[in-house]
Amino acid sequence: MKIFIFGNGNINFDDFEIFYKKPLEPFLNNKNTEFILCDFRGTDTLVMELLKNHTSKVIVYHIGKKPRYYPDKYKTKVSQWTIKNGFISDEERDLTAINDCTHFLAKDFNSNKKRVSDTQKNIQECIKQDKINILHI
């Protein structure tokens, strides 16, 4: 199982705990679960902080040569994480992550009648590719 976790950059901590931390708890110590993340602020950084002491099975996808955010390696499992870099756009990076995952976890707080957020676009792509939403397991 490879879970792609993504979401909005402006998430608040209370929403993170409800929509991300709680659904992820059953998977945190599962040796057959890998986590796929990107390196944007908000959801991505909060998930990295959650996972850093739980698992070495994390892949971080990012644009350019080094991540915009990366947790401290000292006394954590971060030094064992995999980094996939060199993507030229958010769209290329996100599509690769979606293609590589089997499951996903995301919540969109920003879309409205006038604007569809990138998070919502990624949720729609996951559904289109028949990825499994862990909220429905």
3-class SS shares of the chain: helix, strand, coil, % to 5: 40, 20, 40
Q: What is the pTM of this model?
A: 0.95
Inform me whether the pLDDT recorded for 123 exceeds 90.
yes
**What are the residue ranges spanned by the domains of the chain?**
2-136
Residue with tokens 């901590």: 13
Inform me whether the pLDDT recorded for 137 exceeds 70.
no
Question: The domain at 2-136 falls in which architecture?
Answer: 3-Layer(aba) Sandwich (3.40)
